[in-house]
Structures are given as structure tokens and as C-alpha cells.
Amino acid sequence: MPNTIHCALALIRSMVWLYLWAILITTSVQANEPPADEMFAEILSFAHMANATYQTKSAILQTSTTQGYTLTHYGNIPEVEVFYFLATNNATKTQRIAVRGTANVENVLVNLNMQLVADEHIGVRLHQGFARSAEGIYRAIKPHLKSGYRIETTGHSLGGAVALALAMHLDANLLPVTRVITFGQPKLTNAAGAKAYQHLKIIRVVMPRDVIPLVPFLDLTGGLRLPEQPDIYWPLGEEILLLEGKNYARLSEWGSLRRTASFFNEAPSEENLRQHQMQNYLHLIQQKYPGARRVPYQNNVNPLEWFRR
């Protein structure tokens, strides 16, 4: 048995080397980057909607109206207790779906269900708990979607992961998903899944000390099975890192992986929990708009050091 475990770990290390080098070689700087204030105006609008999912129906109505939308539908997926709402802007022909994050014991169990399973509807492996929630929301909102309208999704924490999985469902069914913006979102899929849906316009807004966007790392529920694709959770979309004051950084998948590595040598703290709160995300985004400044993110950590024991 020790030899089997040693061989499996060696294989995982080799896979990680190959995938990290692939990301390093293929990562490029995005052209035609939008002005910072234009980007943060959009992020702020999505943040208000994501924050509203934790509030009362009247507060959701008010927030939707303030953002130029009307509340079209809202509901709760009973099996997993995941709340969501759908709002519509008839002037821009846009519908936005917001999903609530962790709020109860059922949501915690969804988070803990970390096995990557093949989703037959979208053709990639997804976190089982998030995929189940997204499928339930997809069935519930489908009758309320308007033909010819663009679709956007958003959410915080668990809600962000479900919002991204929901966008994948919509895209797989040829529905026009034009934007996904999430806050403090945990990882959802593996490298193959990230590659298959890299065409989606995704922004993951994160804080430096929020550990939730860095996990899960590995699917350990399947023992030593060796699937066609390694069960390593992979970041999907561009990462906007909220720094102090007006500063922010933009990170590719490679940059996000390097940032993940820096947490392996750090002990958890209350600051990790504080930064994960949606209200703190909203507050820091409001500080940056207008006048946000992009700065380079310095991280000299080698992510492969974690594998050297």
C-alpha cells in the first residue's frame, strides 16, 4: 500500500507540473482592457445584487430597481436550501440571476460535497454540491427567461460557484450568457472544465486574505482512482484582486495558482473569515469606484514548492 500511495502522489506531481507549464506557456495579457472605472462600475452593480440575496424581499426589490431591473422571479431550491432571484432590465434586454451564498447547515453540506463528477448536461466534471444546486435553479428559472435577452449571473461564496455552474448550463443550452461576476467564489471544476468554458466572460472578485477562493484544491473523495483528467480543482476566468485603497490587481489562471501556493505555509485566522463576508467585499468595491488604480501583484512564491517534501 505505501508503494501504491507513493506512485499515485508521484503521478499527481507530474500532472501538476505539466498543467502549470501549459498555463505558463499559454497565458497572455488580455488586449483592449476596459478602463478601470468602467469595469468597477459594472462590478459594483453586480456586487449590490449579490449582497441583496442575503436580504429581505423588499430589499431585493429596492436593489433591483436601483440597478435598473425589476424583480421577475425568486425562489429556493428545497433539497439544498439555495436561494436565488431573477431580475429583468427591459431597456437593455438583460436578465440577471443572483444566487445566495452559505447561510445555513444545508449550504455547508453542499460546500462539503467536494467530489468532482461528470455533468452530462454540460460535458465536464464539476463540484458535485454546486452542480446539483445549479441544475435545480436552471430548471426553476427556465420558464422565466425571455427570448432574445442577454443573461448575466452573479453570487457570493457558494452562490458564486453555483452562479458559474448555472452559466455553464445556460451556455450549454445555447442561451446567451454575456457576463459572470462572482465574489469570494470557491473553485468549481478541473483543468479540462476550465478549458472548455474559457470562452465565457468571467470575473472572479477576491480579497487577498480570503481563503475560500483558493479551495478546494484536490478531489480526495475518490481515493486513488486515476480518471481521464486529474481531479485537481482549477481556477476559471480572470481574477480581480482587491488591494488596499484604490488599488487592485488583475490575475490570470497562472497568477491565481501562484497566489494559492502562498497560503500553504500560513495558519488560518479570523481575518480570513472577515474578508470573506459579502458586505466587506461591497464596502471595498465602493471605495475603489471611482478612481480605481491597477497595480502589479508581486508574488514570488513557486507553487511547485508545495509538492517538494
Note the pLDDT tens digit of each residue in 103-131: 543 444 444 556 788 888 899 999 888 99
CATH of domain 29-307: 3.40.50.1820
Distance CA 250, CA 124 (A): 26
Least confident of 85-89, 154-158, 190-194, 278-282: 190-194
Distances (CA, A) of 40 to 2, 84, 163: 51, 23, 19
Task: Provide the pLDDT for residue 300.
Answer: 55
Task: Provide the pLDDT for residue 302.
Answer: 53
Name which residue leads in pLDDT, 96 or 263. Answer: 96
Task: Provide the pLDDT for residue 267.
Answer: 64
Task: Provide the pLDDT for residue 127.
Answer: 86
Name which residue leads in pLDDT, 266 or 50. Answer: 50
DSSP single-letter state for residue 102? -
Widest pairwise Cα distance in the chain: 64
Residue 213's nearest CA partner among 143, 144, 272, 172 is 272
Name the amino acid, one letter, at 205: V
Distances (CA, A) of 11 to 8, 18, 115: 5, 11, 19
Average of pLDDT values for 220-226? 51
Name which residue leads in pLDDT, 110 or 74. Answer: 74
Task: Provide the pLDDT for residue 291.
Answer: 95
Residue 262's nearest CA partner among 204, 220, 304, 219 is 304
Task: Provide the pLDDT for residue 272.
Answer: 74
Note the pLDDT tens digit of each residue in 20-36: 544 444 443 444 567 89
Q: pTM of the full predicted structure? A: 0.83
Extents of the domains making up the chain? 29-307
Distances (CA, A) of 235 to 25, 200, 201, 284: 16, 13, 14, 23
**Local structure of 190: helix, strand or coil:** strand
pLDDT higher than 60, residue 223: no
For 138, the grid coordinates are 436552471
Distance CA 242, CA 209 (A): 10
Average of pLDDT values for 150-175? 97
pLDDT higher than 70, residue 2: no
